[in-house]
């Protein structure tokens, strides 16, 4: 499992180079072909025994974060989100500005806030890095500099916690699978794509290059088992295994692929669950609109608090997701 190392690397949408370098170094010896395309997607191929069909596996390397949009007179930095990040979850968090500069996100002190009138918005948040004034800040920071969370990975034997599990969890699963398989029945393409969080940008570019017959997206998805949320509103539950999606925003999963994923899990004795809410989207929606319309499925690791500075994942959900994806590759049964 590579989740710890992947989680601690900074890789906001458009700045995935360090994530890509880490993955490439470890999987290059295992692939028959490997390359990085002009957009930054990393693509690795394992040749199959039959060679007449192509299976594409996809996980995105990018994470949500922020970007510096203004340097203020007092030396603080204004930021805006890159991807689906809410301002309420970032207040008081430690961040890295660029490659090495540490800062803290601040908001008006609570004892100065007026009840029911103080709304946390990006426009009134500031990143404090210790600069005395605008001139000093401009010597160290430029407009457009990325701002990422500083969160150490930890585990207690059952749960993992860390940042960027969406979708470094999927990236780690793909790395585990390419490491564990020999020669699959069909050509299998492992794609680590860019800029999913800003509009599913990288996946269409991958599809154009490899022209798959079927694509399976390996994602991390939201859990619902959090305080004060009624059970009927849960999307997934930690500890119940990988979530198999039948529909999400922008795409209804091809029923043949959905049924074959379910059948594979059942035959292998792998616990699984259905994703019971249809909010959120994945690269499967982009694949469906690419080329001739690539039939796609989605398998996800349930995770609490995604798109925040710290997420929580169950060890068994990760393990069973990797097992299911390995069965998908080794059997080739999702190929239509």
C-alpha 136: how far from its chain's center?
A: 35
- Kindly state whether residues 48 and 70 are assigned to the same domain: no
For residues 177 and 52, state if they share a domain.
yes
Which of 95, 115, 149 is where one domain is finished? 149
* Domain match, 313 and 192 both: yes
Tens of pLDDT, residues 267-318: 999 999 998 776 777 888 889 888 888 999 999 999 999 999 999 999 999 9
11 and 58 fall within a common domain: yes
Q: Is the pLDDT of residue 336 over 80?
A: yes
Catalytic residue set = 196
Tokens 């599913």 belong to 200
Q: What is the CATH number of the domain that holds 90?
A: 2.40.30.40
**Domain contains 52:** yes
Lookup result for tokens 């049924």? 259
Whether residues 142 and 222 share a domain: the answer is: no
Q: Which domain holds residue 314?
A: 3-63+163-331
What percent of the chain stands above pLDDT 70?
95
Q: Rank 42-46, 199-203, 243-247, 254-258 by mean pLDDT and report only the highest.
A: 42-46
| Residue 155 covered by a domain | no
Domain end marker among 149, 174, 209:
149
Which is it for strands 54-60 and 214-222: parallel, antiparallel or unpaired?
Answer: parallel
Q: How far is CA 315 from the centre of its chain?
A: 17
Q: At what angle do helices 165-180 and 17-27 cross, to 10 degrees?
A: 10
Please indicate, yes or no, whether residues 240 and 307 belong to a single structural domain of this protein.
yes
Q: Is residue 194 part of a domain?
A: yes
* pLDDT in the model for residue 115: 66
Q: For residue 262, what is the domain's CATH number? A: 3.40.630.10
Q: What are the structure tokens assigned to 205, written together? A: 């570019």
Specify if 112 maps to a domain: yes
pLDDT at 113 over 70: no
Q: Tell me whether residue 12 is in a domain.
A: yes
| Residue 175 maps to a domain | yes
Q: What is the DSSP letter of 114?
A: P
Q: Residue 24 above 80 pLDDT?
A: yes
Residue 121: inside a domain:
yes
13 and 99 part of one domain = no
Pair (170, 54) in one structural domain: yes
- Helix (H) and strand (E) counts in the chain: 8, 19
User: What is the DSSP track for 56-80?
Assistant: EEEEE--B-EEEEEEE-TTS-EEEE
HSE (CB half, 13 Å, CA atoms) of 102?
5
Res 222: pLDDT: 86
- Look at the chain and report how many structural domains it folds into: 2
Residues 180, 182: Cα–Cα separation, whole Å? 7
Whether 183 has a pLDDT exceeding 80, the answer reads yes
Mark whether 129 and 42 lie in a shared domain: no
pTM equals: 0.93
Domain stops at, among 102, 120, 149: 149
Residues 177 and 273 in one domain: yes
Residue 273 lies inside a defined structural domain of this protein: yes
Same-domain status, 187 and 267: yes
Assign 235 a pLDDT band (cuts: 50, 70, 90): confident
Q: Both 131 and 233 in a single domain? A: no
Residue 48 pLDDT greater than 90, yes or no:
yes
């Amino acid at each position: 499992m590579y989740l710890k190392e992947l989680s601690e690397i900074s890789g906001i949408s458009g700045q995935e180079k360090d994530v890509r370098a880490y993955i490439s170094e470890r999987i290059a010896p295992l692939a028959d072909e490997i390359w990085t395309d002009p957009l930054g997607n990393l693509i690795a191929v394992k040749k199959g025994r039959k060679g007449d069909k192509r299976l594409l596996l996809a996980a995105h390397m990018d994470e949500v974060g922020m970007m510096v949009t203004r340097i203020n007179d007092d030396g603080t930095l204004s930021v805006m989100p890159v991807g689906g990040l809410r301002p309420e979850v970032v207040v008081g968090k430690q961040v890295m500005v660029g490659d090495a500069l540490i800062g803290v996100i601040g908001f008006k002190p609570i004892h100065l806030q007026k009840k029911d009138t103080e709304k946390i918005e990006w426009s009134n948040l500031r990143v404090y890095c210790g600069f005395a004034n605008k001139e000093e800040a401009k010597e160290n920071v430029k407009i457009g500099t990325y701002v990422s969370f500083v969160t150490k990975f930890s585990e207690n034997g059952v749960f993992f916690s860390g940042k960027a599990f969406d979708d470094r969890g999927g990236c780690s699963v793909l790395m585990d699978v390419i490491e564990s398989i020999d020669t699959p029945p069909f050509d299998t393409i492992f794609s680590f794509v860019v800029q999913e969080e800003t509009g599913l940008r990288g996946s269409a570019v991958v599809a154009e290059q490899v022209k798959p017959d079927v694509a399976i997206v390996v994602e991390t998805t939201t859990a619902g088992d959090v305080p004060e949320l009624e059970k009927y509103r849960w999307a997934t539950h930690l500890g119940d295994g990988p979530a198999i999606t039948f529909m999400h925003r922008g795409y209804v999963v091809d029923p043949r692929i959905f049924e074959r994923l379910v059948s594979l899990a059942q035959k292998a004795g792998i616990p699984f669950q259905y994703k019971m809410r249809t909010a959120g989207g994945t690269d499967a929606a982009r694949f469906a609109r690419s080329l001739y319309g690539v039939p796609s499925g989605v398998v996800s690791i349930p995770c609490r608090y995604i798109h925040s500075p710290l997420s929580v994942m169950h060890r068994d959900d990760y393990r069973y997701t990797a097992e299911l994806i390995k069965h998908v590759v080794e059997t080739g049964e999702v190929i239509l």
